[in-house]
Amino acid sequence: MSQRKEYIIALSSLICGCFIYLFFRKNIIGLEVLSIDTSSLIIEIEHNIVTDIIIYNLPDALWFFSLILFQIQFYKNRSLLSKVILYACIALPFIGEIMQKHNIISGTFDIIDVVLYALVLIIVMIWKRKKLFT
């Protein structure tokens, strides 16, 4: 797959995560701080386990997928710095969830987030195994 197509996939993943967050989530902290009211954009849907996973867990997984795909593009020369940055990007969401679990940072620990991050990581490692491991 061409590098351009991979950028498009990564950017699409990022945009989809933002779309879900913006149109289905209330009380977006970053926008509240900027005094931006998104309540008129919210699409109301009936909540169940599937819609809750889509609304509350999928955006983070999509952002993680995007981050890893973008970072792999910089992994070409496999320098120590590019390896450290890639591994830090991989560890970041897991560390964030652990810190939430232990009340080190604000947020709500969610095992579904951890599972989705792991699935994203497995998918990327299978898809990009030649680039990462050869």
Q: What is the pTM of this model?
A: 0.83
Share of the chain above pLDDT 70, in %: 82
Q: How far is 82 from 123, CA to CA, in rounded Å?
A: 21
* CA of residue 97 relative to chain centroid, distance: 12
| Residue 33, pLDDT above cutoff 60 | no
What tens digit of pLDDT does each residue of 80-122 get?
888 888 899 999 999 999 999 999 998 889 999 999 999 999 9
